[in-house]
Amino acid sequence: SAAGSAAGVSGLAGSEDHSMAWLLAVAHTTTSKLEEAISGIGSLSPAGSKQLAADVGYLSNILSAGLGLPQSGSLADLHKLLSCPLSGLQEAVGGVSSISPDLARAILVKRRAASG
């Protein structure tokens, strides 16, 4: 019946909402754990920064293109801070808004410590 079909579609939409909410929660938790892990790193060598930037970019791609989630501002900010040249890092730290200022400054300190 039409009513049965409508109820089935409605139930499917609700299921999709729950699935999306779950995926968003997993993405948020994963990003938070990544930020915690980065905070625990003592210094970031140029090669380490490059590898971590690639890993962050890969995770961002999986979440957005692979799972259809919105682009993560936190991951974009992390990628920006990890991949920009040291000469532009101070300016980049001032331009991020999706991660904590403390984490942004910590990345600056970690990258500078390893470079000189």
What's the pLDDT tens digit per position in 24-50? Answer: 999 999 999 999 999 999 999 999 999
**What residue type is assigned to position 33 of the chain?**
K
Helices (H), the chain: 2-39, 46-61, 73-83, 89-94, 101-115
Higher local confidence (pLDDT), 38 or 12: 38
- Which residue is it, tokens 């730290």? 93
> pTM value?
0.84
Query: What does the pLDDT read at residue 15?
Result: 80
Name the phi and psi angles at 5, rounded to 5.
-65, -40
What is the distance between the alpha carbons of residues 86 and 116, in angstroms, rounded to a whole number?
11
Structure tokens, 97: 């808004």
Q: What percent of the chain has pLDDT over 90?
A: 83
- Does residue 27 contact residue 69 with C-beta atoms inside 8 Å? yes
Question: What distance in Å separates the CA atoms of residue 62 and residue 43, rounded to the nearest whole number?
Answer: 27
Taking residues 44-69, what's their average pLDDT?
Answer: 96
Task: Say what the pLDDT of residue 4 is.
Answer: 52
As a whole number, the mean pLDDT across the chain is 90
Measured CA to CA in angstroms, residue 47 lies from 11, 68, 77 at distances of: 49, 30, 19
